[in-house]
């Protein structure tokens, strides 16, 4: 790194001093904290993204969002060249960078890292970073901090793509790196075209019955706003958007959104008894996850939740049907695998295994599930909270494309051709960069039509085991170390034994704990054969967590 570059970094970094007395760490999905302390972190992530762009000679993305967190929080997610999350190999550098005490130390760190990674400044390739943000009021100034960070690397170009959902930004990065046009209008065009194709491939006998409108909760965030745009491009699907983020409708993520609905299992604000039985979906604050639900009769606002596990099951079932045709008609064996985390309801895992599917378990966080899903020709992954997507391997996709062309001249209109076309359309509709509520909802909608299913019929695929999630505030959540896809506590010693003793008291009991990567808490999960038992199990495990790690009270 030459003196000019060093001087530039020093000068820019001095405008973004780090907050005193706090350490901000790269978590499950990037950095997240109260927005007021994030400027320096985001500025430094700008530098990191420019370095990553130089290293990979590809476009990188920065998304300013704190997803489902409260409106006063914000955060930053980084999209790698594939459109997926930043490679885990760079996470330790991200932590060091964010916490370097002053500009001199920061520049020293960058110089050392650049040398180790063989990154040269001022070469032929100029770094390029796409920037996006959600609707949070702090987004604009944090985006500016990211831009300053990028601009402090000589030659680097920052392009502001505006207010976007997280998956839109990831999609843009992916498509730019594939050499394709990646404007927001291209994104909308692609999902509405592939949705139309899939609607056209619905068996004729299923198209007769009209389906009711979908009612969607936009979490008062960017997803609601974008869904309003998407719905205008669709035919054959009516969507009523509530909590769309318009002035006066409510506060982002406050009593609304997929996270609230999934964890509390009650209606989001704006929904009530008039909606009993109707098909409803809820997006999270940055629209990278979604769940479905319907309102149950009664005054307690209870819902029947159709979560990520059931979305995964629906997708797996539909894809499996298409693969059965490929196998029968063409003798083609396709390796289909599904990926879940320990939060997956035990009943869903049983169901998927009974379908004959290979089920893999990874730690929490899309970065782990996504990576595992690459192991298959088609890998479907979902977290119970609704974050997931479907990945198609490059070789299987190219086989599908070739076969599609051949069949157009030999077997036009055959069942085999239809299955090939459906799979191709799914690969276009679903966002293969990252989980995407907009395209995910559209895929659910078209599959329900294909099956002729109501949300109630879908929900009956299997019955969830009652479960409960709790959060425990502790002194130091990093004191908890887990193993086996987070199902076992390794440290502190003795805690796992205590959990085992509690679990043994219940029929079908299962419980695990792990430190959250996005909030300063330990999460407790429990399931058992009745809700009361699941609640009690969670409560007693939480008490053990408190005893081992808490502030001295239980
Ligand atoms: C139990 C749970 O819902 N955990 C969420 C949450 O992570 P935590 O590390 O549990 O805070 O946020 C992540 C990012 O959005 C998401 O991937 C994950 O599933
Ligand atoms: Mg999110």
pLDDT digits (tens, 9 = 90+) for 468-524: 999 999 999 999 999 999 999 999 999 999 999 999 999 899 999 999 987 889 999
Break the chain into its structural domains and give their ranges: 3-181, 213-304, 309-460, 467-549
The answer to whether the annotation marks 81 as part of a ligand binding site is no
Give the atom of ligand 1 at the shortest distance from the alpha carbon of 519.
11
Check whether 102 is labelled as a binding-site residue. Answer: no
Residue that wins the pLDDT comparison between 208 and 168: 168
The answer, yes or no, to whether residue 222 has pLDDT greater than 50, is: yes
Domain 3-181 CATH assignment equals 3.40.120.10: yes
Q: How far is the CA of 506 from the centre of ligand 2 (A)?
A: 33
Please give the model's pTM, rounded to 2 decimal places.
0.94
Please name the CATH architecture into which domain 467-549 falls.
Answer: 2-Layer Sandwich (3.30)
| pLDDT, average across residues 45-65 | 98
pLDDT reading at 554 higher than 50: no
Architecture of domain 309-460 in this structure:
3-Layer(aba) Sandwich (3.40)
Predicted local distance difference test score (pLDDT) of residue 552 = 56
CA atoms within 13 Å, Cβ hemisphere of 503: 19
DSSP string, 372-406: HHTTSSEEEEE-TTS-EEEEE-HHHHHHHHHHHHH
Where residue 92 falls among pLDDT bands split at 50, 70, 90?
very high
Residue 411 has pLDDT above 90, yes or no: no
Region 195-217: what's the mean pLDDT?
88
Q: Give 300 or 321, the one with higher predicted confidence.
A: 321
Burial 48-85 (b: 16+ CB within 10 A, else e): bbbbbbbbbebbbbbbbbbbbbebebbbbbbbbbbbbb
| Dihedral over alpha carbons 382, 313, 262, 500 (to 10 degrees) | -80
pLDDT value of position 518: 79
Strand runs labelled E in 417-516: 467-472, 481-483, 488-491, 510-515
* Per-residue model confidence (pLDDT) at position 208: 63
Residue 383 marked in a binding site = yes
Question: What ipTM was reported for this prediction?
Answer: 0.98
Task: Please give the Cα distance from 387 to 365 (Å, whole number).
Answer: 9
Indicate which atom in ligand 1 lies nearest the CA of residue 284: 15
In whole angstroms, give the CA distance from residue 86 to residue 307. Answer: 27
- Given a cut of 90, whether residue 196 has pLDDT beyond it is yes
**Is the pLDDT reported for residue 553 higher than 60?**
no
Q: For 295-319, what is each residue's pLDDT tens digit?
A: 999 878 999 999 999 999 999 999 9
Give the model confidence (pLDDT) of 426-465 as tens digits. 999 999 999 999 999 999 999 999 999 999 999 999 999 9
Hey, do 3-181 and 309-460 end up sharing a CATH topology, with the first three levels equal? yes
> What pLDDT, on a 0 to 100 scale, did the predictor assign at position 253?
97
Q: Name residues contacting ligand 1 (CB within 6 A).
A: 28-29, 67, 343, 364-366, 383, 385, 387, 516-519, 523
Give me the CATH code for the 213-304 domain, please: 3.40.120.10
pLDDT digits (tens, 9 = 90+) for 377-393: 999 999 999 999 999 99
Active-site residue set: 67
Q: Alpha-carbon distance 226 to 192, whole Å?
A: 13
Q: What is the pLDDT of residues 226-267, one digit of tens each?
A: 999 999 999 899 999 999 988 788 999 999 999 999 989 999
Q: Identify the nearest ligand to the CA of 166 by its number.
A: 2
Which residue's CA lies nearest to atom 16 of ligand 1? Answer: 365
- How close are the terminal C-alpha atoms of the chain, in Å? 54
Q: What's residue 543's pLDDT?
A: 97
Contact assessment for residue 181 and residue 192, using Cβ atoms and an 8 Å cutoff: no
């Amino acid at each position: 790194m030459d003196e000019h570059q060093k001087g530039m970094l020093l000068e820019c970094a001095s405008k973004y001093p780090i907050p005193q007395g706090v350490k901000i760490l790269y978590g499950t999905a990037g950095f997240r904290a109260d927005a007021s302390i994030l400027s320096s972190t985001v500025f430094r992530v700008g530098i990191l993204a420019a370095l990553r762009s130089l290293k990979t000679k590809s476009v990188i993305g920065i998304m300013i969002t704190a997803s489902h967190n409260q409106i006063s929080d914000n955060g930053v997610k980084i999209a790698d060249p594939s459109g997926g999350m930043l490679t885990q190999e760079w996470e330790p550098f991200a932590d060091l960078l964010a916490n370097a005490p002053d500009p001199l130390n920061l520049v020293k760190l960058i110089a050392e890292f650049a040398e180790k990674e063989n990154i040269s400044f001022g070469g032929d390739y100029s770094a390029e970073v796409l920037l996006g943000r959600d609707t949070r009021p702090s987004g604009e100034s944090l985006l500016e901090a990211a831009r300053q960070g990028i601009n402090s690397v000589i030659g680097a170009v920052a392009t502001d793509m505006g207010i976007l959902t997280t998956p839109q930004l990831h999609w843009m990065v992916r498509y730019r790196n594939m050499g394709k046009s990646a404007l927001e209008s291209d994104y909308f065009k692609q999902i509405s075209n592939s949705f139309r194709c899939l609607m056209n491939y619905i068996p004729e006998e299923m198209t007769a019955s009209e389906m009711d409108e979908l009612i969607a909760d936009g979490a008062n965030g960017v997803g609601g706003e974008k869904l309003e745009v998407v719905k205008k491009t669709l035919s054959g699907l009516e969507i009523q958007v509530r909590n769309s983020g318009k002035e006066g409708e409510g506060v982002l993520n406050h009593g609304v959104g997929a996270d609230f609905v999934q964890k509390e299992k009650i209606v989001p604000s704006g929904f009530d008894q008039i909606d009993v039985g109707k098909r409803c979906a809820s997006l999270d604050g940055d629209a990278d996850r979604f769940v479905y639900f319907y309102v149950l009769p009664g005054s307690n606002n209870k819902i029947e939740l159709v979560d990520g596990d059931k979305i995964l099951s629906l997708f797996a079932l539909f894809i499996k049907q298409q693969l059965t045709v490929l196998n029968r008609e063409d003798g083609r064996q396709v390796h289909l695998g599904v990926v879940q985390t320990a939060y997956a309801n035990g009943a869903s895992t049983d169901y998927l295994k009974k379908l004959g599917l290979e089920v893999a378990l990874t730690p929490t966080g899309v970065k782990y599930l996504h990576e595992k899903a690459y192991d298959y020709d088609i890998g479907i992954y979902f977290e119970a909270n609704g974050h997931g997507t479907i990945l198609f391997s490059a070789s299987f996709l190219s086989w599908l494309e070739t076969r599609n062309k051949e069949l157009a001249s030999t077997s036009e209109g055959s069942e085999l051709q239809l299955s090939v076309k459906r799979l191709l359309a799914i690969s276009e509709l679903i966002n293969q960069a990252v989980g995407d509520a907009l395209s995910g909802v559209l895929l659910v909608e078209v599959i329900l039509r294909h099956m002729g299913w109501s949300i109630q019929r879908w929900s009956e695929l299997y019955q969830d085991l009652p479960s409960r999630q709790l959060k425990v505030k502790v002194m130091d959540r990093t004191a908890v170390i887990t193993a086996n896809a987070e199902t076992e506590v390794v440290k502190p010693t003795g805690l796992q034994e205590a959990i085992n003793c509690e679990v043994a008291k219940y029929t079908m009991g299962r419980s695990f704990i792990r430190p959250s990567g996005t909030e300063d808490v330990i999460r407790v999960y429990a399931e058992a054969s009745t809700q009361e038992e699941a609640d009690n199990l969670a409560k007693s495990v939480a008490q053990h967590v408190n005893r081992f790690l808490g502030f001295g009270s239980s």
